[in-house]
Amino acid sequence: MESFNTRLQQERKRLKLTQEALGAIGGVESNAQTSYETGKRWPRADYLQRVSLAGVDITYLMTGERNQLAAPPVATAPAPTQTASVNEAAPMVSALIASLGQNLRLTASTIAAITNTESLTKRAREDIAEGLRDFHSESDRFTTLACSLCRPVQRDR
């Protein structure tokens, strides 16, 4: 069976990322990323959480088994420059919106799977409900902010 470090390297290559890029996503320097991939060091949990957002299958890293519910990579398009036209920025924005939609569908299916677990205690169900209310509130705030950024800009005359 392959080791953690080999699987990490495979995931990075599957996502077509350099060591520097995956290290940056994970919040570490490239030498730390190299140490993880050579088996000299183990990453911390916060690193694993961040790289999972880029599409790294954490279940695969830990067990060697693919996670059927693994998140698709979050689209990472470069931010448009001041001189970029609206037509140049539109495909990047569309890709980011599509990625948000994929992540929202994955979140919804994960929530459904959690809440359909029959072995949950009443207290666990209450905790989940509270967490979902918090998630809903945060989602509403994010959506309101995102929509406010989409309003036409009024220019001074």
Residue with tokens 């050579």: 38
| pLDDT reading at 142 higher than 80 | no
58 band by pLDDT with thresholds 50, 70 and 90: confident
| pLDDT reading at 75 higher than 80 | no
pLDDT of residue 93: 62
46 band by pLDDT with thresholds 50, 70 and 90: confident
pLDDT of residue 156: 56
Sequence-separated (6 or more) residues with CB below 8 Å from residue 71: 52, 53, 55, 102, 103, 106
pLDDT of residue 78: 44
For residues 112-138, average pLDDT: 75
CATH topology classification for 4-63: 434 Repressor (Amino-terminal Domain) (1.10.260)
* Cβ–Cβ < 8 Å for 105, 76: no
124 band by pLDDT with thresholds 50, 70 and 90: confident
Length of the chain: 157
pLDDT of residue 123: 83
Two tokens at 102? 């994929």
| pLDDT reading at 110 higher than 80 | no
pLDDT of residue 83: 42
Domain positions in the chain = 4-63, 86-149
| pLDDT reading at 77 higher than 80 | no
